[in-house]
Amino acid sequence: MDYHIYHMFPKLLNLYGDHGNIITLEYYASQLGLNPILHEIDDVNNIDWDNVDFMLIGGGSDREQALVTEQLGLIKDKIKEEMEKGLPILAVCGGYQFLGNYYQATNGEKLAGLGILDFYTVGQTQKRMIGNALVQTQDFGELIGFVNHAGETFHDLSPLGEATSGYGNNLTSSIEGIYYKNMIGTYLHGPLLPKNPQLTLFFIKTFMKRKGLPYDDSLIDLSFENKAREMMKQRILDNSVNKDDFY
């Protein structure tokens, strides 16, 4: 069965190796007998909405975010519609900020968000939130990641989890991300999926469920991934992120 992976604006929204998420998804999808097909979208007219199985909106600098704002705005209703229907979406950092009503960049410029969820982000110049993070979630256990953002996100929606090491959505709260239907918005950057196979498998499992296909990941060997996770977690705990170290 074909598995259509959509990577939105990969040349602009691809900070800190967000593309690693795609490679991982392709790898696990193949292991589970799927045929992953990657669509790298630079023009929103090239989306075949009947065949979108996963969407990644990655992170970008303020400048790059400004460059894609208009194009993304053209498909905001469609993204919302698909999200409500349960499309698995991973929106990282700048991509996550886009889902809200607006992102006020650090230079004060207000970039329109897609407004598909009711929240907002304000960039501040006092301190960048940078560093590794451990996030405890109810649905996916412990997530390991890396954050680097100036924007502070504020919302009352259902969060992805809580950062027990490193930064969450803003400087005053350890709440991290948003989890809505099958959409995950998070500040955890770059190779999030390789570090957290449980998330990768969640996206694929959700796809299979939506297609009415049987899902069985019992043959997937995660021992290497789990070893890497343990090592990374230990490193984070040993260097316990001191928020005051980062500017």
Active site residues: 93, 189
Q: Which two tokens stand for residue 184?
A: 């995950």
Kindly tell me which of 69 and 198 has the beta carbon lying closer to ligand GLN: 69
Q: Based on the shown chain and the rule CB under 6 A, indicate whether residue 60 belongs to the binding site for ligand GLN.
A: yes
Question: Strand order of the sheet with strand 120-123?
Answer: 110-112, 102-104, 120-123, 151-154
Q: Based on the shown chain and the rule CB under 6 A, indicate whether residue 59 belongs to the binding site for ligand GLN.
A: yes
Window contacting ligand GLN (CB under 6 A); options: 1-9, 53-61, 80-88, 138-146: 53-61
Q: Shortest distance, CB of residue 108 to ligand GLN, whole angstroms?
A: 13
Enumerate long-range contacts of 80-84, CB under 8 Å, 24 or more apart: 80/114, 80/116, 82/49, 82/52, 82/55, 83/116, 83/180, 83/181, 83/182, 83/183, 84/181
The one among 10, 113, 145, 151 contacting ligand GLN by CB under 6 A: 151
Q: Shortest distance, CB of residue 92 to ligand GLN, whole angstroms?
A: 7
The one among 14, 21, 24, 65 contacting ligand GLN by CB under 6 A: 65
Q: Shortest distance, CB of residue 144 to ligand GLN, whole angstroms?
A: 17
Q: Based on the shown chain and the rule CB under 6 A, indicate whether residue 69 belongs to the binding site for ligand GLN.
A: no
Site for ligand GLN in 75-94 (CB under 6 A): 93-94
Q: Shortest distance, CB of residue 13 to ligand GLN, whole angstroms?
A: 8
Distances (CA, A) of 27 to 12, 34, 47, 197, 204: 23, 10, 23, 11, 11
Integer Cα distance of 196 and 191 in angstroms: 9
Site for ligand GLN in 5-24 (CB under 6 A): 15
Alpha-carbon torsion (116, 120, 122, 127), positive or negative: negative
Integer Cα distance of 152 and 123 in angstroms: 6
Kindly tell me which of 13 and 79 has the beta carbon lying closer to ligand GLN: 13
The string over 49-60, giving b where at least 16 C-beta atoms fall within 10 Å of a residue's C-beta and e elsewhere, is eeebbbbbbbbb
CB distance 135 to 164 below 8 Å = yes
Q: Shortest distance, CB of residue 95 to ligand GLN, whole angstroms?
A: 7
Site for ligand GLN in 106-145 (CB under 6 A): 123
Q: Based on the shown chain and the rule CB under 6 A, indicate whether residue 149 belongs to the binding site for ligand GLN.
A: yes
The one among 69, 71, 136, 148 contacting ligand GLN by CB under 6 A: 148
Question: In the bound complex, which residue of the shown chain has the CB atom lying closest to ligand GLN?
Answer: 59
The residues that touch ligand GLN, with contacts defined as CB under 6 A, are 15, 59-62, 65, 93-94, 123, 148-151
